[in-house]
Structure 1
């Protein structure tokens, strides 16, 4: 299978336009009203809340099922001078959640440690060897963050060791029977808005978001130890975790990320400042894109290739020399990760080309594909082919990997239906982690091929771009960009606006990048001439002597102290 395996069709859909009565009386341009309308904003009140989030609009943390009991158990740890361990995860959401509760419990006077499992040795979540080690060191209380909701057996094992467990997690709960939707939870205190018995108003918090809600509750419960309002300084960590974990940036997540970006601009954490320095990120200009593509990958790099120890240290350290050393090490690890990802991606594409073009899901494995980077590869392949993809490291007896899926296929439901072939699994509708016995790999593949074939229609395998507004190139301007900043933070549930300009000229173009994989262009219409960049361009068959239609996002570029506004192209075709 050659390029026929790539996305065959693209669907460009222009979103509905606002009515004449929409937001009447507010001083917005037609373009600004259109962008608010496509965010789902219905009226003036919603527009004001969206553009000016209020910290006071956050829900009471005690509305989360389990928080009251968790606070009481932590109160006992304070009174009895018990040792506590925060048990985290190795991604950005996991390490930021760990840091949030590590610092908060420490301020309560609890002797606190943390434990982050080694991805390539222990895998995700609670494990019995780690619990043995924690118990031997004298801990009495373990609080999980960003993991634990499916760790039924491990929680029972912990109890036998004399450990009390508080599970805080945001992942989907385990379902025992599909027909009656019976839920299986660890027999302990569980704080997770996705558990069926939880009536919390917002269900989409990240692991760091839930850790922050726990911190909020503790600040309320211990006013003599924790000064009210100071918990806001934890929001830099919450923004990092929430944005990097790609949870919907709506509702409470939008408020947390909005204020978290403000805290990052004036963060007290020397590690974040120096990480920004090595990644050439101006914290005064921080936004969700810079977190997702500059700071986040560097924080993730250690957990992908080694252990997450350096990543959590850089968030916690107050020593500038240590922070500088860690920032440089994380930057180097990220460059190594990039090279490794490119090598595995090329090999994985060759494996895909051996499979049937009719397959609606791809399962791949390789012996030299470290499990720390297969999730990135799976994401790139899912985007390339617009199909569900699972990429695993072949570790001998077992294969461990990551799954990514477009909206048309709920990958976690499919894994639940295939659980007889899995050692463990967990995740969301569009992303998951799995461990499978090597002898069951083909059986799992066959089951998932069967499920995907029955659930995915050919018309689903289309890359769809939803366009916010049709615009002239003159809209690529400072005014447009300044309004876009008010719509930040962007992410799932609040995507960066997409514009289309039709029938425009390509004045010039050239390939750039290490492997000439990107395309730099200059566009013009009757009103303006604008620079554009198309990352990972694959449309070599286009005739640039003809007029084109372009899908793009408006970005700012600063060089030599001067700012300009450019097009980040995401779609390109010859005009009809």
Structure 2
């Protein structure tokens, strides 16, 4: 994979911002590099809280949804929440079930089985609800593309309310595109063209949280009772890889604060079995430890187990947490094997020169296709669809690069698909087996991609010598947290560093410890985690290198020292 380093060139009065806000000019530059511009916006970025978030009633159809649910609760009509099997859907379902129970609703839930039912509301779920005498279906993290299913549910006399955050389906192309909204009684989705809500990038659980906030406000329930929902929305925002800007960043920041003393027993249990300290929790732990455990339920067993964890207490919560951790450990092993199979497929079948990689792994568990696609995307910097053999036909999941909208490209190839949905950066699809090669050809013929799109761009905040780094500056960077998609960790660069010593260590030989020196002969401790073994083979003592790094504080046996954490490097020219 080719890599290109670029330095941000955004302009601002960094000295003035530094003086006005009491922060270092380097910190001001980083914030500006995250597309935060005015002094007012920077202040909100640094110190904004939930009270700065837009009113939930700005979401289109929020008033109607609150009114309808109020009438159903008053009349004792049974409501069923229809969730989804990933961490976002589970968190959204937890929020709505808990909120409606608090209001006295007759409420239960159903979550589709990933293999038997597929994504979202479907005929089986609708007929189960009808048989159970359910009056109202309330979707979360799904429903925006379920036109025929919702038509069927309403024909059976049910009220249907949709809350979702996925792209709205459309007919036509270019300026002739028109939205195709489901015929529900109300639709809450910030992506609707007519929705005035100012922040469009909420996840499904965050949309559910906004509905809960509107209901609690209407019922005059104390705002502090929303606290567990903030935790769940934060977890889902990171788990669904939403952009950590604007309201999303506030939700995650506030959610992490609350998780330090979480009101959700199941979440406490999951942190405990994974050896996490709630007081030192970061977005990394949500995205790579807690989230995957919750997703493992829907992937290898049932998402209802993950939801049960959120609703459980005491020993039941602890037992479920251990089960989910063990499922996730199993999922990791299966994923590693399928990634290797995917690499072999790409390298050996002649698709490596394709703009879009359509990787057919018939034996891959369909629930792992998205994870495998993501890891292959990271390795090759191409859009990747991983297709697996399902009970009927084929199923697949894709992960994309910034210049390629998966949802729009699949929409252009809908003639080959039985179903599809998703975002610009991720999508799911189903198709008949005989359409695999025609789909591959169509996706590649109309990819719109060229060689520059396949170059990974590493954005440097400031080309900064390590001598500028102080403990105070590193501590100030904590104001920029939480880090993640759209609010990446600060990244700096320095040229002409000499490798003095190197030492590969760690149980899996996955950490490379280096001693570097700059042109003035100052020693700089450094560590490298990515591809440590390969780097150890390629780096030679006495060699000069350029590094992209972020600074950190190493604490060992009570001693604190500054060190570089190297993200990327190349031989100095």
TM class by shorter chain equals over 0.9
1:257: Cα distance to partner?
A: 1.6
SS in 2 for 1:25: helix
User: Do 2:524 and 2:564's aligned partners in 1 also have CA atoms closer than 8 Å?
Assistant: no
1:339: Cα distance to partner?
A: 0.6
Equivalent of residue 243 in structure 1, options 238, 246, 260: 238
The more displaced of 110-119 and 560-569 is: 560-569
CA distance in 2, matches of 1:280, 1:451: 47
SS in 2 for 1:358: coil
1:386: Cα distance to partner?
A: 0.6
- 1:12 and 2:5 matched: yes
CA distance in 2, matches of 1:517, 1:373: 24
Equivalent of residue 550 in structure 2, options 549, 553, 559: 553
After superposition, the Cα gap between the structure-2 partners of 1:54 and 1:396, relative to the gap in structure 1 and judged at 3 Å, is closer
- 1:341 and 2:335 matched: yes
Equivalent of residue 502 in structure 1, options 495, 518, 537: 495
CA distance in 2, matches of 1:79, 1:560: 62
Which residue does 2:125 correspond to in 1? 130
Aligned alpha-carbon RMSD (Å): 2.0
- 1:573 and 2:559 matched: no
1:271: Cα distance to partner?
A: 1.4
User: Do 1:476 and 1:566's aligned partners in 2 also have CA atoms closer than 8 Å?
Assistant: no
User: Do 1:351 and 1:364's aligned partners in 2 also have CA atoms closer than 8 Å?
Assistant: yes
Which residue does 2:201 correspond to in 1? 204
Which residue does 2:363 correspond to in 1? 368
1:42: Cα distance to partner?
A: 2.6
Trace 1:405-554 onto structure 2 (pairs within 5 A).
405-452=400-447, 455-474=448-467, 477-512=470-505, 516=509, 519-525=512-518, 526-537=521-532, 538=534, 540-554=537-551
User: Do 2:516 and 2:524's aligned partners in 1 also have CA atoms closer than 8 Å?
Assistant: yes
CA distance in 2, matches of 1:562, 1:392: 50
After superposition, the Cα gap between the structure-2 partners of 1:518 and 1:138, relative to the gap in structure 1 and judged at 3 Å, is farther
Trace 1:279-290 onto structure 2 (pairs within 5 A).
279-290=274-285
Equivalent of residue 221 in structure 1, options 218, 221, 227: 218
Deviation string, structure 1 residues 51-93 (Cα, Å, up to 9, x no partner): 0013221111111111111111101111111111111111111
- List alignment gaps of at least 5 residues for structure 2: none
User: Do 2:381 and 2:456's aligned partners in 1 also have CA atoms closer than 8 Å?
Assistant: yes
1:536: Cα distance to partner?
A: 3.2
1:18: Cα distance to partner?
A: 5.0
User: Do 1:532 and 1:569's aligned partners in 2 also have CA atoms closer than 8 Å?
Assistant: yes
The more displaced of 480-489 and 515-524 is: 515-524
The more displaced of 337-346 and 538-547 is: 538-547
SS in 1 for 2:17: coil
The more displaced of 166-175 and 39-48 is: 39-48
1:493: Cα distance to partner?
A: 2.1
Equivalent of residue 191 in structure 2, options 191, 194, 197: 194
| TM-score normalized by the length of structure 2 | 0.94
CA distance in 2, matches of 1:120, 1:137: 23
Count of aligned pairs between the two proteins: 564
SS in 2 for 1:48: helix
CA distance in 2, matches of 1:25, 1:511: 43
- 1:398 and 2:399 matched: no
After superposition, the Cα gap between the structure-2 partners of 1:156 and 1:487, relative to the gap in structure 1 and judged at 3 Å, is same
User: Do 2:526 and 2:566's aligned partners in 1 also have CA atoms closer than 8 Å?
Assistant: no
The more displaced of 554-563 and 27-36 is: 554-563
1:21: Cα distance to partner?
A: 4.7
Deviation string, structure 1 residues 121-160 (Cα, Å, up to 9, x no partner): 2211111011111221221111111111000011011112
Trace 1:59-458 onto structure 2 (pairs within 5 A).
59-179=54-174, 180-188=176-184, 189-223=186-220, 226-318=221-313, 320-353=314-347, 354-395=349-390, 397-452=392-447, 455-458=448-451
- List alignment gaps of at least 5 residues for structure 1: 1-6
Which residue does 1:3 correspond to in 2? none
SS in 2 for 1:254: helix
The more displaced of 58-67 and 499-508 is: 499-508
CA distance in 1, matches of 2:33, 2:340: 37
Deviation string, structure 1 residues 208-248 (Cα, Å, up to 9, x no partner): 1100110111012112xx33342233211111011111111
After superposition, the Cα gap between the structure-2 partners of 1:377 and 1:64, relative to the gap in structure 1 and judged at 3 Å, is same
1:20: Cα distance to partner?
A: 5.7
1:343: Cα distance to partner?
A: 0.2
